[in-house]
Amino acid sequence: MEILLTAALLHDAQGSHPGENSRDDHHLRSADFAGEVLSGMGWPTEKIALVQHCIRAHRYRKEDIPESLEAKLLFDADKLDVIGAVGVVRALAYAFQAGTPAHTRPSGQFLEQGKTQAGEPHSAYHEYLFKLKNISARLITPAARAIAAERQAFLNRFFDQLAQEMQE
């Protein structure tokens, strides 16, 4: 439990602010930061490595695979945090904080490749299409999948309704 709790506290410690370019590698920077902090506290290198694995493997868009039970639990908990009613609020808050809108119609390029065109804002709706609508399929543990079912359905209804109203 010590490894999981420590990783949970430190997994977004570096570069996790909305709109920040360093967001893409925040999992690596946070793992390095955790290593520095825990080393300074006298943690054994074996435990530090376990915490760092959890942190490196929690990122949705990266290929690091959660291998330990703690890493799988952190991955799932981190993903559950972005769906459901809290996920809607969070997606909108991140978009507004980054200076992007709640909804813009995505370009064909974005729909095909997941990459915005020059000048195309990455709205909360873009984040939904690219990441949030696929969260449940990425979950690892049966418990997380069970929790996610209702939350994912709510999130899908919200963004479907938002898109419909924005086209009216």
pLDDT score recorded for residue 16: 61
pTM of the model: 0.83
Report how far residue 131's alpha carbon sits from residue 133's, in angstroms, rounded to the nearest whole number: 6
Report how far residue 47's alpha carbon sits from residue 39's, in angstroms, rounded to the nearest whole number: 10
Tell me which DSSP letter residue 117 carries. Answer: P
Split at pLDDT 50, 70, 90, the class of 78 is: very high
Report how far residue 109's alpha carbon sits from residue 163's, in angstroms, rounded to the nearest whole number: 18
Highest average pLDDT, of 21-30, 52-61, 105-114, 159-168, comes from 159-168
* Mean pLDDT, residues 49-62 taken together: 86
- Which of 99, 67, 84 has the alpha carbon at shortest distance from 152? 84
Give me the domains of the chain, ranges plus CATH numbers. 1-64 (no CATH), 81-168 (1.20.58.1910)
- pLDDT surpassing 60 at residue 150: yes
